Amino acid sequence: CGTSLALMDAGVPMERPVAGIAMGLIKEDDGVAVLSDILGDEDHLGDMDFKVAGTEKGVTSLQMDIKITSITKDIMETALDQARDGRIHILGEMAKAINTARDGVSQHAPRITVITINKDKIREVIGPGGKMIREICETTGAKIDLEDDGTVKVAAVDQSAADAAIEWIRGITAEPEVGVIYTGKVVKTVDFGAFVNFMGSKDGLVHISELAPHRVGKTTDIVNVGDTVKVKLIGIDDRGKVKLSMRVVDQETGEEIAGDRAEARS
């Protein structure tokens, strides 16, 4: 009963609620008593422990322990009739709490999510010596299984862990797009600007002229290694070099600064 309630509450798509009841038997000579919902002592001292589980439509499972040589058809019919009445009563009480599975799986329920990536990107997700996939697993708590055909299975204890791992993987496998704003981390500063890692495995240069909407004398006046920044991808040259800009992005909101405003702040 508790398992059925828990599964429905977790959003597992059960066709119908299931309840169970344990039936007992006391038999002395010609005297017979069939007991419903037996306790431990009644199980220990009685002649039968007969568990019946099912839905309102019928029985789904049976299990019996018996201490006497045999039972009659009449005893069996009585036990099943009483079990049905008890099961229907229990299902009615369960329905007061929940009687159908929730629309979606609970965000706190463990889950396995399957996504597909380009086979050419598998190496990037794994990283050199498995560094990248280990970092994803250690940071998010998810477990990741990569197949040769690009199938990725992400097992996580809850929705947030699954989402974090999937977002990371999609970031690694996605192709950067000109005009899109990304969140990245400064990995190196040089005299002419800063190199920023974004989308997990992509690096680009923010030229010193694109660091801020005003003249910058020194790169480290604006950013340092390890800083998290918002950048707009403004171009990719013929050699695949990525050009980024912080100047046109509000670093607090992550929103693009309108052209006139960007010029006014220059």
Same domain, 158 and 195: no
Please state, in angstroms and rounded to a whole number, the distance separating the CA atoms of residues 59 and 265: 75
Same domain, 91 and 6: yes
Same domain, 16 and 61: yes
Is residue 144 in a domain? Answer: yes
Position 13 pLDDT exceeds 80:
yes
Domain boundary among 139, 154, 173: 173
Report the CATH number at residue 211.
2.40.50.140
Same domain, 9 and 59: yes
What's the number of domains the chain is made of? 3
Is residue 106 in a domain? Answer: no
- Looking at residue 260, what is its pLDDT? 46
Domain that holds residue 24: 2-95
Position 26 pLDDT exceeds 70:
yes
Q: What is the mean pLDDT of residues 234-255?
A: 92
Contact indicator for 25, 71 with CB cutoff of 8 Å: yes
Name the strand (E) or helix (H) holding 238: none
Is residue 219 in a domain? Answer: yes
Same domain, 187 and 203: yes
Nearest 5°: the CA angle 110, 115, 119 is 140
pLDDT grade, residue 259 (50/70/90)? low
Is residue 100 in a domain? Answer: no
Same domain, 115 and 64: no
* Cβ neighbours, 10 Å, residue 44: 10
Is residue 126 in a domain? Answer: yes
Same domain, 190 and 235: yes
- Looking at residue 266, what is its pLDDT? 44
- Looking at residue 107, what is its pLDDT? 76
CA–CA distances in Å: residue 131 to residues 44, 128, 135, 172, 266: 58, 6, 6, 13, 41
Position 240 pLDDT exceeds 70:
yes
Please state, in angstroms and rounded to a whole number, the distance separating the CA atoms of residues 247 and 266: 9
Domain boundary among 64, 95, 126: 95
Is residue 103 in a domain? Answer: no
pLDDT grade, residue 190 (50/70/90)? very high
Q: What is the mean pLDDT of residues 228-251?
A: 93
Q: What is the mean pLDDT of residues 133-159?
A: 95
Domain boundary among 60, 95, 130: 95
pLDDT tens for 204-216 read 999 999 999 899 9
Q: What is the mean pLDDT of residues 32-56?
A: 91
Two structure tokens written together for 159: 């929705």
Q: What is the DSSP pairing of strand 181-190 with strand 193-198? A: antiparallel
Position 265 pLDDT exceeds 70:
no
- Looking at residue 238, what is its pLDDT? 87
Is residue 134 in a domain? Answer: yes
- Looking at residue 262, what is its pLDDT? 52
